[in-house]
Amino acid sequence: MSVLNQASPSTALPDAALVLRPSACPGLLRIVAARDGGICRIKLPGGELSAAQAAVIADVSERYGAGVVELTNRANLQVRGVRSGHEAALIAALVEAGLGPIPTGGAADAVSLLLTSSQQTPGSISASAADDVRNVMVSPTAGRDAFALFDTRPLCVELLTLLQSEARFAALSPKFALLLDGGERLVRLDHPHDVWLAATQAEDGVRFVFGLAGCPSAAANSDAFQHIAHSAVDHSRPNYAGALAAMLPSQVTDLVCALLHTFLDLAAPDDTRMRHLLAAHSIDAVLQHAQTYVDFPLSRGTSLANWQRPTPADATLRLGAHAQRVVGMLHVGGQPPLGRLDAATLRGLATLSQQQGNGTLHTTPWQSVLLPDIAADAAPTVLAEMNALGLACDPAQPMARLIACAGSTGCAKSLSDTKADALLLADRLPDGVDVHLSGCPRSCAAAHCAPYTLLAAAPGIYDLYRRDGQPGFGSCVAHQLTIEQAADMLDPLAHPARSPSDA
């Protein structure tokens, strides 16, 4: 990795980067109160955890919480229902299991880390801030996907180390996020990221292109759930999609460092995301500023103006058994109902990964779980065990096509019990239709624009939206529907060519 140029921070907003941005986001060291108790969010590097760590999470979720573990749309985990007075014990157990950020300030054990989590010595980043900035998304099959152009796992480690080591990056919002795309088939392209990087094949080898406040453009996408990057962008915001420049893989970490310093140099105190910065500064101005930090060119390349990711992404590969790069090895995936696991199920998956796999679990940004490195002859047994644990392993199953926020039992802002309503909808969900249920306009369960959204208006009553390029959830096609009425409307909306006799 080359040495960054020592450019001076911008004097336009000298204090902007020094102000720590407050956050209500849960973290490992910041348990946030909800209607059903505290929420502790565990950020998993590359979405991976060991079977032993999974067992610890299952144990503490029962001992100190409600026994509910939630998968998030950034491939992390949350322990829900943390009981008052048990926060320190929960955090200590998780940190001792190796689930915390890089230790800082000389903390020798979990308790010390907890007690010093809000403190910061000169030139270091506090433990709480180091936890907040661990936001790098990679494919759940990174390093194993036969279609990948580049194994992003070592690069992900580099970026996570950078984020947690630079004291200045404590000023980044916990929502500020990076995407590292190695060209895999199983990759989530429809979540806008503050900085995205994607591997591409050049004449003389692999390069990475990058963009800001958007998603990699995809030429074709066979995703059965219509998670298509260019149409999933929220059109209420300016569209900054597009590849800006290309670089060697060895230059990626320096580029990210330059872009983060540039963001902190130029951002106003209330700017938390790259899209906020780009509303006030042109992309060319941002690149010119970032250029002062690196010794390789960042000017926009005309050859990249129409760059598109050549490999189609397919979210259905997260479910069932699919071949890995090594012949005879498969990954096997399943979707827990509405992204939630109880402690017994998590323990069962951990045991299964030890018995049949490599002893690790991979969470995905679709709120599902993969067990990698399963021998082909063991895959039927693993699938049967996952089904027995209550996971959907077939994309045709209703539970593979529904997402819902915490709902009114877990969140005071929700107008309806979306989890219970989603279970009712599952019994009537039309084939080939995926639906997002949101208890309020914040859309916590979905960072992408779902094809259909049911937005709660009252308990058990929803407005139905269809994605069509309009801002937010799309266009509202019906108001004040019960779950039964919504189910009856979804089939003709999704399959307008069907005649009544066909239905």
Report the b/e string of 136-175 with b at 16+ CB within 10 A. bbbbbbbbbbebbbbbbbebbebbbebbbebbbbbbbbbe
Cβ atoms of 32 and 25 closer than 8 Å:
yes
Burial state string for 117-133 with b = 16 or more CB within 10 A and e = fewer than 16:
beebeeebbbbbbbbbb
* Rounded alpha-carbon distances, angstroms, from residue 419 to 80, 210, 386, 460: 14, 37, 21, 11
State whether 381 and 418 are in the same domain: no
Q: What are the structure tokens assigned to 432, written together?
A: 């080939």
User: What is the predicted pLDDT for the residue at 323?
Assistant: 98
Cβ atoms of residues 382 and 83 within 8 Å = no
Q: Which two tokens stand for residue 78?
A: 């949350």
Are 324 and 219 part of one and the same domain? no
Task: Answer yes or no: do 329 and 309 share one domain.
Answer: no
Q: What is the pLDDT of residue 65?
A: 98
Query: What is the C-alpha to C-alpha distance for residues 116 and 324, in angstroms, rounded to an integer?
Result: 43
For residue 471, being part of any structural domain is answered with yes
**Global pTM?**
0.89
Same domain, 301 and 323: no
State whether 169 and 237 are in the same domain.
yes
Distance CA 230, CA 215 (A): 7
Residue 111 lies in a domain: no
Look at residue 374 and tell me if it is in a domain: yes
In a domain, 105, yes or no: no
* CATH number reported for the structural domain that contains residue 452 in this entry: 3.30.413.10
Whether 274 and 343 share a structural domain: no
Round to whole Å and give the CA distance between 119 and 126: 6
**What is each CA distance from 120 to 107, 109, 129, 187, 264, in whole angstroms?**
12, 17, 9, 36, 19
**Whether residues 305 and 427 fall in one domain:** no
Say how far apart CA 81 and CA 84 lie, in whole Å.
Answer: 9
| Domain total in the chain | 3
Decide which of 289, 315, 341 is a domain's last residue. 315
Tell me, yes or no, whether 501 lies in a domain.
no
Q: Are residues 128 and 153 in the same domain?
A: yes
| Residue 334 lies inside a defined structural domain of this protein | yes
Residues 259 and 242 in one domain: yes
Per-residue tens of pLDDT for the chain, all 503 residues: 444 444 433 333 334 444 445 567 899 999 999 999 999 999 999 999 999 999 999 999 999 999 999 999 999 999 999 999 999 999 999 999 999 998 644 334 444 555 454 455 555 678 989 999 999 999 999 999 999 999 999 999 999 999 999 999 999 999 999 999 999 999 999 999 999 999 999 999 999 999 999 999 886 544 433 333 333 334 344 446 589 999 999 999 999 999 999 999 999 999 999 999 999 999 999 999 999 999 999 977 778 888 999 899 999 999 999 999 999 999 999 999 999 999 999 999 999 999 999 999 999 999 999 999 999 999 999 999 999 999 999 999 999 999 999 999 999 999 999 999 999 999 999 999 999 999 999 999 988 889 999 999 999 999 999 998 777 899 999 999 999 999 999 999 988 876 454 44
Q: Which residues pair with 79 in a beta bridge?
A: 40, 69
One domain for residues 157 and 293: yes
332 and 388 fall within a common domain:
yes
End-to-end CA distance of the chain: give it in Å, rounded: 60
The last residue of a domain, from among 315, 337, 353:
315
Contact assessment for residue 379 and residue 5, using Cβ atoms and an 8 Å cutoff: no
The answer as to whether 285 is a domain residue is yes
CB 194 within 8 A of CB 267: no
In contact, 374 and 356? CB cutoff 8 Å: yes
For residue 370, what are the domain limits? 316-395
At residue 23, the pLDDT reads 61
CB-count exposure of residue 491 (10 Å: 0-12, 13-18, 19+): middle
pLDDT at 102: 82
Provide the CB-side half-sphere exposure for 173 (13 A, CA): 20
Q: Does 413 fall in a domain?
A: yes
Last residue of a domain, one of 270, 289, 315: 315
User: Are both 211 and 275 inside the same structural domain?
Assistant: yes
Q: Tell me which amino acid residue 162 is.
A: L
Q: Kindly report the CATH number assigned to the domain that includes residue 363.
A: 3.90.480.10
